Structure 1
Amino acid sequence: MVEKITLEESLDEIAYRATIDLVITDDFPAIGPGQEIRISGIAPQGTSLVYLFHPGVIWECSSRNSGQKHLTVTAYDKTIYLNKCEDEYLLPAGQTASQRLKRYAADWKIPLGHVAETGKSLAKGVYRSQTIFSMILNDLKDTVSRDGLMYRARMTPNGLELYEIGSNSPVWMLDMDQNVEEITQKRTLEGAVTQVKVLGKAKEEDKPVPVLAVEKGETEKYGTLQRIIQNSNIETASQAKKAAQKLLTGMQETITVTAIDINTIRAGDKVQIKDLAFIVTSVRHELGMPGSMTLELMHIDAVRRKYFMAD
């Protein structure tokens, strides 16, 4: 009955997405939005089925009929509810992102798996009318701003987990002589930051905002591409300089790899090409025997700047 199954996710989304193309026969059971669904497959170097996508929920169904009926099903793992639901929270200072994630999950009845302890006390959280996912992202960005590690929330068969970026084992090797079909490289100044200005608190509405620091990067090479930081947690010139230096970046590089499918690779995992390590920022699995995958890769420092320091 299954013609095609595709799994996709990226670092700027929380939910794993599945697209399933089916052939429908007269005795095919009814299938529709809201029903639970899971996808199983044989993991690399394995011999038995494991859950690749679970727990999932059918979100959308689209059918077509030209003599033979076909159905396309779009499903998400259950973190989709954290991306679709809005609420407000007033969270005290001193909590960690791990503690806050556990509260969100409890309030929205999302089962928990392993939640890594981020270990950084956060500022007071005042969240008004925004999605739960945006709150989680803000907590994780605040963790990085306090010299913490990078984490992402993602659903696994064990439940919602807080996963340290690049901490996967094993780390898969991508090799042109073994499993890679094509590698493409894109270099661009889009997203580059060569100068950062850090502003302090406005003391009076009709007065200029004080400038705490201006840090220059590769302005001579790439021109001036300036970003502004205004953060109430930054109060001194030394704090401002440190924050600005973290945001400086020159040319942006993205690598796209098309390869034989390794169906357990997720966004946020580390992979290796020769002796260089990269982080998977997005992945598309075309499941099959052997199947194929398309990975978007970036260096870990670029991931930190793009996904955890953008605001």
Structure 2
Amino acid sequence: MTYKVIVDDKYDITKLVETITLKDSLDQIAYQANIRLAVSASSGLPAISPGMAVRISGVPFGEKSMVYLLHPAVIWEAESSNSGTKRLSLTVYDRMIYLEKSEDEFLFPKDQTAVQRLKAYAKEWKIPLATLPEIKTKLGKAVYRSQTIFSMIFADLKETAKSGGDMYHPRMMPGGLQLFKVGSNTKVHALDRLIDLTQMRTLEGAVTKVKVMAASESGGSGKEVPSKVLAIEQSDTEQLGTLQKLIEDDQVKTAAAAKKLAKSKLTGIQETFTISAPDINTIRAGDAVMLKGLKLIVMSVSRDLSAGPGTMTLELGTAELVKRRFYLE
């Protein structure tokens, strides 16, 4: 096992580990691990219970020293079974899980940035922050009532991208919660030791015609009237057929803004890549990688660290696809 698992900051349970899997994706906020332990009477395993701290370390590809891969993290579930050999299965999340499972309400004025709002969430939940980027994109007024902090953060990040800003994804790191700019990793790994490669091309999710509508209003007599069309844009309808999307956005006030929004929603054939390869354990969702000369973004990663260096499965897409799928909907 080229990994180390420490529980409660003092118990090294690495020798008891049979399997470790890790999962990370752009549509989840917390990095997840599943750990299965083989436990004997002589193993000296302390009582394990949800709420205990845990960290996983490993040696990055091409290096010699261990680094934290999942830290700070918490045991969320512990399930034991006994069919001759006692096994303990642990479900572990980084500590952003508390933002995913907790609800609150926040009222924000307009002209704040996603960073300013993240600081407000973190202060309320006593979550340390890493160095945060300077995001200048200003957001509209927000009224968040009875929803998870997770959904509020993603609403802020989506609005940032919709308003012309960069795409960001929250990550819990040893130094605190950070906002990672998608595709900004300094070390871009070339994926050239593939076990398997699947390329998917589909019209599912394609949009070839967009209508942007004004917010619905009733006529003066109280009767319902058709919505006003602010803009219509289309592309590739002759080749791909008409796949129309209607958008009603009360923040769009002008025809020029509606036209820009409509164009941003046009999408052709959706193309994704799924690869299996020897694990590069520092690759996270949101990272850029190179595949056959193409620079792609990791939309999800799952890794199996059960044997030797382990294997990983990545779902990849272009930056444009990532923006449409995760930030413009």
* Shorter-chain TM-score range: over 0.9
CA displacement at 1:221 relative to structure 2: 1.7
CA displacement at 1:279 relative to structure 2: 0.1
Superposed CA RMSD: 1.1
Could you tell me the percent identity over the aligned residues? 53
CA displacement at 1:114 relative to structure 2: 2.3
1:7-86 equivalences under 5 Å are: 7-26=22-41, 27-86=44-103
- Cα distance per residue 1:114-142 (max 9 Å; x no partner): 21122101000111111111111111111
CA displacement at 1:70 relative to structure 2: 0.7
The one-letter code matched in structure 1 to 2:84 is G
CA distance in 1, matches of 2:211, 2:139: 24
Alignment of 1:304 onto 2:323: yes
CA displacement at 1:259 relative to structure 2: 0.5
TM-score (norm 1): 0.96
- Cα distance per residue 1:135-181 (max 9 Å; x no partner): 11111111111111111111111111001000001100011xxx211
3-state DSSP class of the match of 2:131? strand
Structure 1, unmatched stretches of 5+, are: none
1:191 to 205, 223, 229: 205
CA displacement at 1:199 relative to structure 2: 0.8
1:170-181 equivalences under 5 Å are: 170-175=187-192, 179-181=193-195
2:162 to 145, 166, 172: 145
Structure 2, unmatched stretches of 5+, are: 1-15
Deviates more, 1:193-202 or 1:204-213: 204-213
3-state DSSP class of the match of 2:23? strand
CA distance in 2, matches of 1:32, 1:236: 56
CA distance in 2, matches of 1:253, 1:88: 38
- Cα distance per residue 1:227-284 (max 9 Å; x no partner): 1211111011111010010011011111001001000000000000132100000001
The one-letter code matched in structure 2 to 1:143 is T
- Cα distance per residue 1:1-53 (max 9 Å; x no partner): 10011110100010000000101122321111111110011112221211100
Aligned counterpart, 1:126: 143
- Structure 1 stretches of 4+ with a deviation exceeding 4 A read none
1:230-309 equivalences under 5 Å are: 230-287=248-305, 288-309=307-328
Aligned counterpart, 2:215: 201
CA distance in 1, matches of 2:235, 2:146: 37
- Cα distance per residue 1:175-207 (max 9 Å; x no partner): 1xxx21111111111111111110112332622
The one-letter code matched in structure 1 to 2:328 is M
3-state DSSP class of the match of 1:141? helix
1:220 to 210, 213, 238: 238
CA distance in 2, matches of 1:87, 1:219: 44
TM-score (norm 2): 0.91
CA distance in 1, matches of 2:216, 2:246: 14
3-state DSSP class of the match of 2:183? coil
CA distance in 2, matches of 1:227, 1:134: 24
CA displacement at 1:62 relative to structure 2: 1.5
Alignment of 1:90 onto 2:104: no
The one-letter code matched in structure 2 to 1:5 is I
CA distance in 2, matches of 1:61, 1:190: 39
The one-letter code matched in structure 2 to 1:302 is L
CA distance in 2, matches of 1:203, 1:44: 58
Aligned counterpart, 2:3: none
The one-letter code matched in structure 2 to 1:303 is V
- Cα distance per residue 1:61-98 (max 9 Å; x no partner): 12211111011100100101111111111001010001
The one-letter code matched in structure 2 to 1:296 is E
